[in-house]
Chains A and B, each alone.
Chain A
Amino acid sequence: MNQPNFIILLLFLLVLGPLIYQLLFQRKVERKIAEMEKGIANLLDNYNSLINAKNVLANKVLTIQKATDYFQKTVDDKVKNLHQMFNSVGEKTNLLYKEREALIEKVQTHVKPLTASLEDLKNQFNKLQESMKKVFGQNDEKWTELANHLDYFSDEIQKMKDHIRERNIDCEL
């Protein structure tokens, strides 16, 4: 009597065991699937974000490209103008240079005699200076005398200034 029960129990276990195992496995798989779905959803979100970022970046790149083009164009225009100006200035400079050359030639023609006379004057002045040096170099007293004369002259000028001021007051009182 006990043996059939055991068999039934064994059979029951043989049937129920895999069933329970399958149920447990299925449940585990479902949990994995749910996690995977969740992961896929996250991935999708990330993908979308990336796509958006990529779009933003692409727009920015486009804007930068446009700005670069505009800048390039502006710089080109300016450089072109500058280039034209440089050309114009260069032409004018050349013209001025030519005129200057002509003027220098003219001035030199007139200045040559003047330079010669100045040279002559300079020589005369140097001679005078040398003779003065000789005169005063012989005797330091001469320098002192000259300094005294200058001091006296300065005092006299001060006296004259005071006198003029006093005369003005005389006339205004």
Chain B
Amino acid sequence: MERTVTATMLFADLMNSTEMAKILTLQEYNEMIVDFQTTMFEVASNHLAHYGYKGNGEDAEWSIVGDEIRVFLYSGAHVFDVRNALIMALKIKLGWLTSAFNQRILKEGRLVSRIGVGINSGKVIKDVRPWREKLGRPQPNVEGYAINLTKRIESSSRSGRAYQVTVGDSFFRLCGNGANINVEFSRPQTFEFKGLGQNITLYEVVSFINHEIVTTMPPSMQPGLIEKMEYAVAQPMPEPWIFYTLLRYYISKTLSAKDETFEGKAIKLAREAVDALEHKRTLYNFLGWLHAYSKKFRDLDLAFQYYDKSLQLNPRDQKALLHRARLAERMGHNDISKRTYEEILFYNPYHHEARKKLNGYFPVQAP
């Protein structure tokens, strides 16, 4: 039965696979594609099952063809789908980085094969084609303009300079619409795609902080995963997402295992990332957080300085403002704390903590 749904689409493919097909022998190329497809199968099937998707065209579906995986999520909960698409994008990248194919390349000191990801949200028509029914495989087909656009977005991700995960405008808006997803995007970039007849605005993910990326990787990929990431990040020109994902993992371990060695690892990695990466604001927030809340490296003045650096890059950063206000209060600078909470309320009049704190200084009128 034909049905129109709002779907979040994720298309990911191997970059430079055509060039590789020219260089590699047919056997080698086939080995690479088999490895890619196995990895994608593991990641997609495990992820969707873990997050409660029924699949089979009910609330999600996915397919792997050649060097590309396509995932459609239409659970009806748009923010849930958006969040899952972002986590899946990173898990796909992580799975491929730690695959046997890429590990061999890494050991040889060459640049690893990368995956470009395009994500978009939009209305699509879901329908079971008569030929599928005749075949006895009544899975629905998904069609629509949004799919064509997602394909273009995926191809544009190759020119990315950070995560190489590019998203469309509708997806970008869903991320910022009170979704509580800690994702940062590049400035809007305009692309002209053949056949679409108009310029399309796209955004590249420059940081995505989520604790589930590593912990929800398929069990078959878990052994040695962190060691592989640590090895990859120590090689020349590592991909930026590895820094953020590994840093987030270290912070989780610091909190859950109460192990101070992870604090040291996190500080060292964050400082290396500041030197290596273009997008520094999130890294300043990381360093600020580590110096504010760690045990061994607690230095409130330094933490304050890092949040100030972050705010110089984006004075509206709610996270940096919030920590700056908290730190000022802890350091006894109540006037700075008060001013910073007021600033938070200026940008977000409903901010719970800021309202609560300022009520301690003076009653805040409901906006």
Contacts and interface: CB of A to CB of B under 8 A. Distances in A.
Q: Do A and B come from one complex?
A: yes
B289 interface: yes
B180 A169 contact: no
A162 B322 contact: no
B289 A165 contact: no
B211 A172 contact: no
Contacts of B322: 172
A166 interface: yes
Contacts of A165: 255
A172 B256 contact: no
Interface residues of B, number: 18
Interface in B235-282: 248, 251-252, 255-256, 282
Contact of B180 (A162, A166, A171, A173): A171
A162 B252 CA distance: 10
A165 B323 CA distance: 16
A170 B289 contact: no
A169 B319 contact: no
A12 B289 CA distance: 145
B150 interface: no
B144 to A, nearest CB: 32
A170 B286 CA distance: 11
B255 A171 contact: no
A172 B353 CA distance: 12
B248 A173 contact: yes
A170 B210 CA distance: 6
B209 interface: yes
A171 B252 contact: no
Interface string A135-167: 000000000000000000000000000100111
Contacts of B285: 173
B252 A173 contact: no
Interface string B191-202: 000000000000
Contacts of B4: none
Contact of B289 (A162, A166, A167, A173): A173
B209 A173 contact: yes
A169 B323 contact: no
Contacts of B251: 169, 173
B359 interface: no
Interface in B131-171: none
B46 interface: no
A173 B256 contact: no
B182 interface: yes
A166 B251 CA distance: 9
A172 B289 contact: yes
Contact of B319 (A166, A167, A173): A173
7 contacts: A169-B211, A170-B182, A170-B209, A170-B248, A173-B182, A173-B285, A173-B286
Given A170-B210, A173-B251, 6 more contacts: A166-B211, A169-B251, A169-B252, A170-B182, A171-B182, A172-B319
Among all A-B residue pairs, the 3 with the closest Cβ atoms: A166-B211, A173-B209, A170-B182
